């Protein structure tokens, strides 16, 4: 099917892009890699009057560090993260999750920020950002605000973003002590969206877990932050009982549905098992990875 007719603009500066959205944000769609937007246009699920292509804003294509945060620009693609050697050392959950996304064609064009703005509850990045306590920088002609990942997803395919805003950057707090993370994904075949996936990140204080982050994929109307499981880990030695309890609590936070890929009960049990596996992998990495 062909998309419905739309105007197309490809601004050369961020100010220009924001100016266009200030005028026509209500009827416009931003396009980054186009890996979700173009299929939606072709299926006519989205029929914007205007597409604002931000791909010509190279300043948004950088990974950096600023004010105690790792910063990921809006045009940083899945493949950039997958191949980033410094991230493989300091935050291995990021390249690991990137590698699980789709196939090389999608990873070569799709962006992390675009994926999060698309807010598919089966998207992988949402869970990772929840586990990492990330923030999204939303920029409009009127200024900037930061939105915690925990309040960004408001429903399936809906976010806290306003029509005149662009996510210009994702910010992830950098921790100084030992830390580690892992992304565990069950997919029907290579390249599929998740049947269930789990992101786990731990920060250690000696032999105890100082902070744990757990995000869930494809088991609810949005990516879910398993807050009770996170709290049950904080301040504790990672004994097998503590890890098992975190798995049970995370499964309790999941709200999956029966579908062709499995029953709700099965998916909840996958969450339980993956949280335990993810914690073991994250704890092993925390022994070797320092930011
Ligand atoms: C065959 C296939 C398989 C896939 N498999 C997976 C998978 O396994 N796991 C997974 O997580 N994803 C998967 N995806 C989805 C894909 O990874 C992402 O949704 C996609 O990369 C989104 O990024 P993009 O840059 O292409 O965004 P676009 O398609 O350009 O935009 C997506 C949405 O976000 C908005 N948007 C984009 N960037 C911004 C911004 N900076 N500020 C504000 N709004 C913005 C757009 O308006 C649009 O609504 C798959 C996609 C395909 C086509």
pLDDT (tens digit, 9 = 90+) per residue, 164-202? 999 999 999 998 889 999 999 999 999 999 999 999 999
Buried b (16+ CB within 10 A) or exposed e, 79-96: bbbbebeebeebbbbbbb
> What are the pocket residues of ligand 1 if the criterion is a CB atom closer than 6 Å to any ligand atom?
29-37, 39, 74, 101-102, 106, 110-111, 113-115, 117-118, 123-125, 161, 166-167, 193
Contacts of 99 (CB under 8 A, 6+ apart): 82
Q: Which atom of ligand 1 is nearest to the CA of 31?
A: 30
Q: Which atom of ligand 1 is nearest to the CA of 117?
A: 34
At 291 the pLDDT is: 46
Q: Which atom of ligand 1 is nearest to the CA of 161?
A: 43
Residue 74 DSSP symbol: T
Q: How far is CA 201 from CA 122, 128, 283, in A?
A: 19, 9, 9
Residue nearest to atom 1 of ligand 1 (CA): 102
| Cβ–Cβ under 8 Å, residues 258 and 279 | no
- Between strands 7-9 and 28-31, the pairing is unpaired
At 58 the pLDDT is: 87
Query: CB-hemisphere CA count at 13 Å for 44?
Result: 5
Q: Which atom of ligand 1 is nearest to the CA of 78?
A: 21
Give the number of other CB atoms < 10 A from CB of residue 286: 20
Residues in the chain with pLDDT values less than 50: 290-291
- pTM of the prediction? 0.97
Q: How far is CA 214 from CA 92, 132, 223, in A?
A: 15, 8, 10
At 125 the pLDDT is: 98
Q: How remote is the CA of residue 89 from the centroid of ligand 1, in Å?
A: 26
At 289 the pLDDT is: 55
Residue nearest to atom 49 of ligand 1 (CA): 118
Cα–Cα distance measured from residue 217 to residue 156, given in angstroms and rounded to the nearest whole number: 12
**Mean pLDDT in the chain?**
97
Q: Which atom of ligand 1 is nearest to the CA of 32?
A: 30
Residue nearest to atom 15 of ligand 1 (CA): 36
Residue nearest to atom 33 of ligand 1 (CA): 118
Residue nearest to atom 28 of ligand 1 (CA): 34
């Amino acid at each position: 099917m062909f998309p419905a007719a739309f105007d197309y603009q490809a601004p050369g500066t961020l100010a220009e892009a924001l100016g266009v959205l200030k005028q026509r944000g209500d009827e416009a769609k931003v396009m980054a890699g186009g890996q979700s937007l173009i299929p939606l246009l072709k299926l006519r699920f989205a029929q914007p009057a205007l597409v604002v292509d931000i791909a010509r804003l190279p300043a948004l294509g950088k990974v950096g560090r600023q004010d105690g945060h790792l910063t990921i620009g809006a045009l940083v693609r899945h493949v950039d993260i997958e191949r980033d050697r410094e991230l493989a050392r300091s935050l291995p959950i990021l390249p690991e999750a990137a590698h699980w996304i789709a196939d090389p064609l999608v990873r070569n064009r799709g962006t992390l920020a675009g994926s999060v703005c698309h807010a598919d509850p089966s998207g992988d990045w949402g869970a990772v950002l929840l586990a990492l306590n990330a923030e999204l920088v939303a920029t409009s002609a009127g200024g900037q605000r930061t939105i915690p990942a925990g309040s960004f997803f408001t429903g399936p395919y809906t976010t806290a973003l306003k029509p005149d805003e662009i996510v210009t950057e994702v910010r992830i707090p950098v921790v100084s002590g030992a830390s580690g993370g892992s992304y565990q994904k069950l997919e029907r075949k290579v390249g599929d969206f998740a049947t269930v996936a789990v992101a786990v990140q731990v920060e250690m204080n000696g032999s105890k877990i100082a902070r744990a982050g757990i995000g869930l994929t494809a088991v609810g109307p949005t990516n879910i932050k398993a807050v009770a499981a996170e709290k049950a880990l904080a301040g504790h030695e990672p004994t097998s009982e503590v890890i098992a309890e975190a798995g049970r609590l995370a499964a309790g936070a999941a709200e999956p549905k029966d579908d062709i890929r499995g029953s709700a009960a099965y998916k909840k049990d996958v969450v339980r098992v993956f949280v335990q596996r993810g914690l073991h992998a994250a704890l092993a990495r925390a022994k070797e990875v320092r930011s």
